[in-house]
Structure 1
Amino acid sequence: MYASFWALVPPIVAIALALITKEVYSSLFIGILVGGLFYSGFGFEGTITHIFQDGIIGVLSDSYNVGILVFLVILGTMVCLMNKAGGSAAFGRWASSHIKSRAGAQLATILLGVLIFIDDYFNCLTVGSVMRPVTDKQNVSRAKLAYLIDATAAPVCIIAPISSWAAAVTGFVEGEDGFSIFIRAIPYNFYALLTIVMMVGMVLMKVEYGPMKVHETNAKKGDLYTTPDRPYANAEEDMTDNGKGKVIDLLIPILSLIICCVIGMIYTGGFFDGVGFVEAFSNSDASVGLVLGSFFGFIITIILYVVRKVLSFSDCMSCIPDGFKAMVPAILILTFAWTLKAMTDSLGAKEFVAGMMETSAQGLMNLLPAIIFLVACFLAFATGTSWGTFGILIPIVVAVFEGRNETMMIISISACMAGAVCGDHCSPISDTTIMASAGAQSNHINHVNTQLPYAITCAAVSFVTYIVAGFVQSAWIVLPIGIVLMLGTLFVISKLNPAEEA
């Protein structure tokens, strides 16, 4: 079964079960179990040791993964602190006096998501905690908030030169100037750019369709969740308004987080040892950098609240276990998703896809960007990782085009990045999808179901745009065509599916 289609069966089983049963933990575990059975040749002992020793214990003893979990817990604690101090409530009051409409609340969420481009995990949780009170006040459904957060996380990070994603992609382009290739690839990253166009277009044109339309219709009537399962429904009780909280009690912690995380990331890249800023970002360790940054942001927040006498020191400390508890669902799903990825890796998924790509590369040069986009979509959707998809496909693309056609190499690398982000955006086992659910405090499967039609629409338009790009090979001609196609598609959908008045 090694390096064959069977390697992709475990994640397909997990995703199918999650979408059918609406139960994410058991679905992921069954996918892991299938992977363990395939790897061991259906032996009992081999299956159990592979699942737990190589899988769960293996991923939880990986320093990068542990760093991400520590970062999650610190962020969860900071969200709890901001709620308890009344900073979130104060911001909610300020925003509700300035943001008077559902469209305004959604546009503000998109803008904040675009501005926080350092890292997708950081983006998901920060935008969620800041904008949730505002969107709740304007009756925007939790599913729609989760979509807006998710669609401004990875798609924005993949077109931001100073981000952990740029650093990752740069590392995969061996034998070339990775950073300049990343910059030149930005105009061809159609999925990321068209996702932003699509979000703004949908808000301004008031277009909703698919399961999201049901959620939004119900939200206008006051039900933000739609489904009976509302795992975070009691979170509003934590939003205390003690009268002492001010907007600065939310802004200073958020700004200190952003600044400290940037410093943490360039520190891990050797900036303070004389390495240049851009190079330090390229060489940074996102996991360690985010942990260091969030820890110092956490310390600054505690000092701020104690000095301002908004919270006592013991109140601040009591937020640590509460923040941990708030992140338990995300940590559980992430652990299972990482374990499932370990199962597919051990079955040779990378080798299977690499072999398939190399055999199909010849004779389809003009259509190759569109084919790479589809392969990257499928691989990232099945494995739940865009970075893993970059690691598999980008070296193949460089090998196919190096020294032959540099423009096609740039377009194809962009197609790989766009497809990876698209698959990651859609996948229920993707860490950013899990984070977006946690950030919006939305049911995870609700988020996946409502987001899929939107992501698929954008993917279809991007696919057509990549076909054109393979022949035209100029971003300044192809990108406007993609934008017109995207807005035209939204216009047709709005006519076929008219919005209901609130």
Structure 2
Amino acid sequence: MTDGIESLLPPAVAIILALITRRVLVPLSIGILVGAATLASQESSGPLSVLTGTASRFIQTIDQSVRDWDHLHVLAFTLLLGAMVGVLESSGSMARMISGWTRRVSTRRGGQSLIGFTGLLIFFDDYANTLLVGGTMRTTADRYGISRAKLAYLVDSTAAPVAGLTLVSTWVATELSYLQEGLADAGIEATNMTFSVFLQSLPYRFYPLLALWFVFVIATSGRDFGPMWAEENAAAQKPRSHHKQSPAGSWADIFAAVMPVGICLIVISGVLVTTGLQEPAESEMSRWQYFGHVIGSGNSYLALVAGGGAGLIAAGTLAIALSGVSWELVIMGSAKGMLQMLPAMAVLWLAWALSSLTGEDQLNTGGYLASILNERLPVEWLPTCVFLLAAFIAFATGTSWGTMAILTPLAVALSINLQQSLLASETLLAASDMGLSGGSPSGTAASLAMSPICLATFSSVLAGAIFGDHCSPLSDTTVLSSRACDCNHVLHVRTQMPYALVVGVTCILFGTLPASWGVSPWISLLISAAVLWVIVRMLGKHPQSAST
């Protein structure tokens, strides 16, 4: 194990190359190679032995990262959920259900609210959300004088945030995996803690939560500001187009679209509870504490795989029975959905390998960072710094997944190590003042993992990544939103960025910073929500000559 400045090389190389190339796979691979070379140079002498040691460790690290049983569960769930999404798209039941909802809307505000609400319902995948909502709501936008720029904003600003917040999505297994890697890097091997930390971190995800809130403040108020107001004003003054209304989705369509997701949720919950009940609990627990213990102790990876499999079977069966889809189309849809997940799985694989090299038992990057930042960076500033760094990387590379892959394990381990160093210093200082020889710090790694600092830091990676994505013209979801909504891509970025910046700055000032100093995240969310409402009331204007 090394514990010097060379431990920073692998993640630093990966981040710098990702910023330069705007890609993720090659930078991660080179970062792993640098880590393998660093370790080999410490274990061997002579150029040839270092070269062979580097090659051997590189191959071994890549191989071991995919042999881990939990990692295989994550890959399986990712494939299964991707296949389920592919079946739902190919059967057309989800699209017909969404199209039918537009018949119930009669105003511009109602149209915007419907678009935002539909984005919340398609919570299981950001790509599916973008393509389904954007593709089916174009006629609704035209009918009620909603600009394509506003449509793209409503679609883009609900897709990733809702997928990053829900317990059943193509994001959750990835987040859990990166979180577990970070906890392991900090010396916490208990995998049953991962889901508990994940659940506790949800209210600290200020940007995605407030981005969703801001969507509905904008939609229900009918107000806009900045470049978006100009686009809405122009759209409101154009003659309304009257497309032929889509037929209302039948009950069979609704059932075929909703039931697979519902079954997936039910099976995941059932397996979590069943496996969690097998773990002994402390005798003195409230009902809520016991419920949290059961869910947190459950086998989340097994639950995700079981739920994904059940959802896929239900989607295929209902598509054939209710939507009249052939077996061939179901198989083609599931295969297409799986293929769409392969790039994300490749990123996962390499991120696991890089994380294992920077872990406590090898390069110990988190421990070294904690040691040099202990006196230079107040621990309360860590979540905000991580948020800004994640936003910068996501903005420059255009990938929130790549940002999470690079930063999450490192940030989680750093937050725990930094707090441990601080506690150790305080314990030593107190012992010195009392004339004692010192003692052990009062906080264990497991308890520090549930601290506001760690929860806010973990959440800040995802929040910052989504924020950077919303501002980046390189983001895949931003490009997809423009394409699905038939909106000029540069126009979409130019009109969405001011809204994203307002939410991002509000998150830092009234969310991340106060929460780091111990303010309840719920209080921070309420204050931030009120601030955003006031901003819209003060800066926003109604489009001229528009029927709201």
The answer to whether TM tops 0.5 is yes
Q: Give the residue type in structure 2 aligned to 1:77.
A: A
Task: Indicate the residue corresponding to 1:374 in structure 2.
Answer: 384
Q: Give the residue type in structure 1 aligned to 2:29.
A: I
Q: How far apart are residue 73 of structure 1 and its match? A: 2.5
Task: Indicate the residue corresponding to 1:325 in structure 2.
Answer: 339
Determine which of 159, 164, 175 is the counterpart of 1:149.
159
Determine which of 516, 528, 532 is the counterpart of 1:486.
532
Superposition pairs for residues 307-456 of structure 1, below 5 Å?
307-308=321-322, 310-335=324-349, 348-360=364-376, 368-369=379-380, 371-377=381-387, 380=390, 384-385=404-405, 387-388=408-409, 389-394=411-416, 396-397=418-419, 400=422, 411-426=452-467, 456=501
Q: Give the residue type in structure 1 aligned to 2:15.
A: P
Q: How far apart are residue 310 of structure 1 and its match? A: 1.7
Is the contact between residue 91 and residue 246 of structure 1 (CA under 8 Å) also seen in structure 2? yes
Task: Report the Cα distance in structure 2 between the residues aligned to 1:487 and 1:243, rounded to whole angstroms.
Answer: 37
Is the deviation greater in 44-53 or in 32-41? 44-53
Q: How far apart are residue 287 of structure 1 and its match? A: 3.4
2:253 match: secondary structure = coil
Task: Indicate the residue corresponding to 1:9 in structure 2.
Answer: 13
Task: Indicate the residue corresponding to 1:79 in structure 2.
Answer: 85
Is the contact between residue 394 and residue 416 of structure 1 (CA under 8 Å) also seen in structure 2? no
Q: Percent identity?
A: 17
Q: Does the alignment pair 1:198 with 2:244?
A: no
Deviations 1:238-273 (A, max 9, x none): xxx999962222122222222223224444x43467
Is the contact between residue 330 and residue 435 of structure 1 (CA under 8 Å) also seen in structure 2? no
Task: Report the Cα distance in structure 2 between the residues aligned to 1:335 and 1:72, rounded to whole angstroms.
Answer: 12
Q: Give the residue type in structure 2 aligned to 1:83.
A: E
Determine which of 116, 135, 138 is the counterpart of 2:137.
135
Q: How far apart are residue 284 of structure 1 and its match? A: 3.5
Q: How far apart are residue 483 of structure 1 and its match? A: 3.1
1:310 match: secondary structure = coil
**Structure 1 residues 476, 438: CA separation in 2 closer, same or farther (over 3 Å shift)?**
closer
Task: Indicate the residue corresponding to 2:240 in structure 1.
Answer: none
Superposition pairs for residues 29-178 of structure 1, below 5 Å?
29-30=26-27, 32-33=29-30, 36-37=33-34, 39-40=36-37, 45=51, 49=55, 53-54=59-60, 56-99=62-105, 101=108, 102-112=111-121, 122=124, 124=126, 127-128=129-130, 131-139=133-141, 145-155=155-165
Q: Does the alignment pair 1:293 with 2:307?
A: yes
1:152 match: secondary structure = helix
**Structure 1 residues 40, 132: CA separation in 2 closer, same or farther (over 3 Å shift)?**
same
Task: Report the Cα distance in structure 2 between the residues aligned to 1:168 and 1:7, rounded to whole angstroms.
Answer: 14
Q: How far apart are residue 411 of structure 1 and its match? A: 4.6
Task: Indicate the residue corresponding to 2:297 in structure 1.
Answer: 283
Q: How far apart are residue 40 of structure 1 and its match? A: 1.8
Task: Report the Cα distance in structure 2 between the residues aligned to 1:333 and 1:181, rounded to whole angstroms.
Answer: 23
Task: Report the Cα distance in structure 1 between the residues aligned to 2:478 and 2:56, rounded to whole angstroms.
Answer: 29
Deviations 1:126-179 (A, max 9, x none): 645764544344455567524311122335669xxx99979998996989x999
Is the contact between residue 81 and residue 311 of structure 2 (CA under 8 Å) also seen in structure 1? no
Structure 1: runs of 5 or more not aligned: 19-23, 117-121, 221-240
Is the contact between residue 167 and residue 284 of structure 1 (CA under 8 Å) also seen in structure 2? no
Is the contact between residue 370 and residue 414 of structure 2 (CA under 8 Å) also seen in structure 1? yes
Bigger CA radius of gyration = 2
Task: Report the Cα distance in structure 1 between the residues aligned to 2:80 and 2:200, rounded to whole angstroms.
Answer: 36
**Structure 1 residues 247, 184: CA separation in 2 closer, same or farther (over 3 Å shift)?**
closer
Is the contact between residue 370 and residue 421 of structure 2 (CA under 8 Å) also seen in structure 1? no
2:21 match: secondary structure = helix
Task: Indicate the residue corresponding to 2:505 in structure 1.
Answer: 460
Task: Report the Cα distance in structure 1 between the residues aligned to 2:522 and 2:342, rounded to whole angstroms.
Answer: 46
Deviations 1:445-477 (A, max 9, x none): x79978776555433223222555677956686
Q: How far apart are residue 297 of structure 1 and its match? A: 1.8
**Structure 1 residues 475, 47: CA separation in 2 closer, same or farther (over 3 Å shift)?**
same
Q: Give the residue type in structure 2 aligned to 1:421.
A: L
**Structure 1 residues 279, 265: CA separation in 2 closer, same or farther (over 3 Å shift)?**
same
Q: Give the residue type in structure 2 aligned to 1:482.
A: S
**Structure 1 residues 82, 418: CA separation in 2 closer, same or farther (over 3 Å shift)?**
closer
What TM-score do you get using the length of structure 1 for normalisation?
0.67
Is the contact between residue 146 and residue 442 of structure 1 (CA under 8 Å) also seen in structure 2? no
Q: Does the alignment pair 1:247 with 2:263?
A: no
Task: Report the Cα distance in structure 1 between the residues aligned to 2:277 and 2:218, rounded to whole angstroms.
Answer: 41
Deviations 1:38-95 (A, max 9, x none): 6526989569837962565444334334333332332232233223333123213312
Is the deviation greater in 273-282 or in 250-259? 273-282
Structure 2: runs of 5 or more not aligned: 42-46, 142-147, 237-247, 282-289, 394-402, 424-440
Deviations 1:378-437 (A, max 9, x none): 565665247523343146447746869x9xx95534532442332342467xxxx99967
Q: Aligned-residue CA RMSD in angstroms?
A: 5.4
Is the contact between residue 144 and residue 216 of structure 1 (CA under 8 Å) also seen in structure 2? no
Task: Report the Cα distance in structure 2 between the residues aligned to 1:472 and 1:295, rounded to whole angstroms.
Answer: 41
2:13 match: secondary structure = helix
2:374 match: secondary structure = helix
Q: Give the residue type in structure 2 aligned to 1:32.
A: S
**Structure 1 residues 398, 185: CA separation in 2 closer, same or farther (over 3 Å shift)?**
farther
Task: Indicate the residue corresponding to 2:428 in structure 1.
Answer: none
Is the contact between residue 384 and residue 423 of structure 1 (CA under 8 Å) also seen in structure 2? no
Task: Report the Cα distance in structure 2 between the residues aligned to 1:288 and 1:279, rounded to whole angstroms.
Answer: 17
**Structure 1 residues 215, 326: CA separation in 2 closer, same or farther (over 3 Å shift)?**
farther
Q: Give the residue type in structure 2 aligned to 1:384.
A: M
What TM-score do you get using the length of structure 2 for normalisation?
0.62
Count the aligned residue pairs.
Answer: 447
